[in-house]
Structure 1
Amino acid sequence: MTLDGKQPKLGDLIEISRYCYQHWAIYVGNGYVVHLAPPSEVAGAGVSSIMSIVADRAIVKKELLSVVAGGDKYRVNNKHDDKYDPLPSNKIVQQAEKMVGKEVPYSVTSDNCEHFVNTLRYGVSRSDQVTDTFTVIGTASVVLGVAGLIGMMLYRSKREKQ
């Protein structure tokens, strides 16, 4: 079910909200999308598709958006249109259709479904999910490091007073 009521147009990026992440597809018309699916990915699988993290290969599939989304919510999200010029929609669809059935390298950090659709639409491989995750991990590491350092200083100061 769509989050925003907006009907997708050819070449639109479709963001599907899964349990802990977003799955991405590209709209190719007549209710179909093309998406990158690790072999463990089952359409509409939600939590079980998290196993895709360990996959190193994926299959490009063309399936009905309703099947890929399953019961999960989705929306059109061409979020980088203000930063990159999208390729012509007919070219996006043509490139996507050419990829269907191919097995391609997959990595959750460098070759995932979001990289795949951004490459098709903008010619730029990027995944904000990956960037955002590394930013959170980096920030948490700094906070934990500072907390550890303060703890060590307090412990040392307490020990010296004894």
Structure 2
Amino acid sequence: MLCFCHNLIKRNDIVPIMPQPGDLIEIFRGTYQHWALYVGEGYIVHLCPPTEAAGAGAYSLVSVLCDTAVVTKESLEEIVGKDRFLVNNLLDGKHKPRSVYDILRDARSLLGLEMPYCILRGNCEHFVTELRYGKGESRQVYYALDVGVRAVAIGMKALNAASNISCVKSKQKRILL
């Protein structure tokens, strides 16, 4: 039985959901989220870059530079540390979850394997959504790319506006001379 319910996040003051085998676990690390698959009895399976550890915090951002990670089974309590976590089967409305038997079988078969790790195409969220739904997706990547595209668009608009202001001032100077 899990003894660290205080780390479980509540959504809208609803009683938090205790993880069940096959559930996706979202662990909040401050600047990003780490993802794992709950396999029962307090354990998770996750894609673990060398820098991902409980309480790694900002240092765990170094995982962006890693190109491989190992599939490990560890205590959820140990990996969560002082951070918070939440059961988040985020794509259940979009994709039908595979059977718990298939999810756990495939997770066990990958234990100990070193796998390619890419923050954009093969991160811990891709890994667990592949196990649960048969399709790897990362909302973090979608959101980060969306924010990046918006920032570039805003920057381009600002440059365009600055250029237009400069052109108007230049024309005004010529008229005055």
TM-score by length of 1: 0.97
User: Which residue number corresponds to residue 9 of structure 2?
Assistant: 3
Alignment of 1:51-62 (within 5 A): 51-62=62-73
State which drifts further: 101-110 or 1-10: 1-10
Q: In terms of Rg, which structure is larger?
A: 2
Query: Which one of 100, 104, 108 corresponds to residue 119 of structure 2?
Result: 108
Is 1:31 the equivalent of 2:37? no
Q: 1:158 aligns with which of 134, 145, 169?
A: 169
* Alignment of 1:84 onto 2:118: no
Q: TM-score by structure 2 length?
A: 0.89
Alignment-mate amino acid for residue 21 of structure 1: Y
Distance 2:122 2:70 in 1: 12
The alignment-based identity, stated in percent, is 41
SS in 2 for 1:111: coil
Classify the secondary structure of the residue corresponding to 1:42: coil
Give runs of ≥4 in structure 1 deviating > 3 Å. none
For the 8 Å contact 1:17–1:73, the answer to whether it is kept is: yes
Query: For 1:19-48, what per-residue CA distance to the aligned partner results, in whole angstroms no more than 9, with x for missing partners?
Result: 200000000011000001111222331221
* Larger RCO: 1 or 2 (CA < 8 Å, sep 6+): 1
- What is the DSSP-based 3-state SS (H/G/I as helix, E as strand, rest coil) of the residue aligned with 1:104? strand
Quote the Cα distance in structure 2 between the aligned partners of 1:109 and 1:54. 11
Paired with 2:153 and 2:60, the residues of 1 have a C-alpha distance of: 31
How many aligned residue pairs are there? 162
How far off its partner does 1:68 sit? 0.8
**CA–CA distance in structure 2, aligned partners of residues 2 and 117 of structure 1:** 19
CA distance in 2, matches of 1:11, 1:88: 8
Whole-angstrom CA distance in 1 between matches of 2:135 and 2:22: 14
Q: Which residue type is aligned with residue 86 of structure 2?
A: R
Q: Does 1:45 align with 2:51?
A: no
| 2:123 counterpart of 1:127 | no
Runs (5+) with no aligned partner, structure 1 = none
User: What is the aligned-residue RMSD (CA, Å)?
Assistant: 0.8
Contact 1:16/1:72 (8 A) holds in 2: yes
